[in-house]
Amino acid sequence: MLDLKFVRDNIPAVEEMLKKRRSSVSLEGFVDMDKKRRTLLVEVESMRAERNSASEEIGRLRREKKDAAELMGRMKELSEHLKGLEANLPEIEHRMEEFLLAIPNVPDPSVPDGAGEEDNPVVRTWGQPRVFDFPVKDHVDLGLELGILDFDRAAKIAGGRFCLSKGAAALMERALVNFMLDIHTREHGYLEVLPPFMANSASFIGTGQLPKFEEDLFRVEGTDYYLVPTAEVPVTNIVRDEILPGETFPLKMAAYTPCFRAEAGTHGKDTRGMIRQHQFSKVELVKVCHPEQSAAELELLTANAEEILKRLGLPYRVVILCTGDMGFAAAKTYDIEVWLPSQGKYREISSCSDFSDFQARRAKIRFRDGAGGKTRLAHTLNGSGLAVGRAIVAILENYQRDDGTVDIPEALRSYMGGMERITRK
């Protein structure tokens, strides 16, 4: 959430930012409502001061055995009027908050301007896509022929956009989670946490999923719980409403969770296979840091996620998202895209973002700058380290053989009981 004073004092700049983001949000009515709110606050504070002063005067008159009836009558009228004004404040405050909650974050100056995905510049690439001397199969055909993926039974159990993994695929999912967590905790210095897989609305407001993206969430009917779409939500909210000692920064946490997404608005997109599902596993990296550290911490976080793909030997590229393609809460985002031979292109497998103080203001994540120092808003970051389902897709397709079997990356074999190749049993 942006600071109210910042928006008030920079209306033209905020409107220009919304244009660059290709946002439909309008500030129409914001200025008038803000003026009305401030005028009301001034009037309320003035009347409260008058009431307090009169209370002291009434007390003095009574002590001196003097008549205070006239002053008490005036104060009764004032109190009734004040009560009416104070009753209007919550509605105006709520409407102002709704305005602020709908405004996206300000892009970092280094973010390129652009309308969408096609305008995202490539920052770097790693690895060479394999040249196959036989017809390439996609992960769906490979998984079905090997007997390790079952989409029909998943649809029978739940519906579309679900997958039933069996045998080597189920083992690979578990192996990838352990492999990723081991690298991030033992080598990259993250603290492993296992958060709840549901969170309340306050947590979703804190990270920016609510109120804007409610249609993308699965809510538990009759409760204030939502299934988490990413571990970003529960892990970032571990420190919600807290004042942290600045010397502990950066806080670095890694978490595995299943993720649940309604995929609203994606009708017809990636309906085949495991690319876009209602449920998938992910290892998430979350950082909370000093504002002056966040730019450098984003580079490190992205490199941490890239390292997993390097260890697995999967070609990838990194792109920086332009203003029109960047997420609502992000100030700057790198997407890591892995090569998928069946599609002949790179597809996102991780999104690494610096949110500046946008989430911290919503979630009241603060720190004390030095002993007895000033309390300030922290900066938050997160990124996938990685999306497990898409890693399986990439491994099956990049490591396939002409006989329909699939080699297992060397880095993963010890996590799969020494298995070197997936064959049909």
CB neighbours of residue 286 within 10 Å = 30
Torsion region of 147: left, alpha or beta (phi above 0 gives left; psi -120 to 50 gives alpha): left
Q: Is the dihedral of CA 37, 38, 39, 42 positive or negative?
A: positive
- What does residue 297 show for φ and ψ, rounded to 5 degrees? -65, -30
CB neighbours of residue 79 within 10 Å = 13
**DSSP 3-state of 97:** helix
Residue 10 in tokens: 């920079």
**DSSP 3-state of 134:** coil
Name residue 6's amino acid.
F
Cβ 79 vs Cβ 47: under 8 Å:
no
Task: Residue 244: name the closest of 363, 353, 105, 352 by CA.
Answer: 363
State the catalytic residues: 261, 276, 348, 351, 390
Q: In what order do the strands lie in the sheet with 242-245?
A: 242-245, 365-368, 375-377
CA angle 183/185/190 to nearest 5° reads: 125
CB-based contacts of 125, cutoff 8 Å, min separation 6: 315, 316, 317, 318
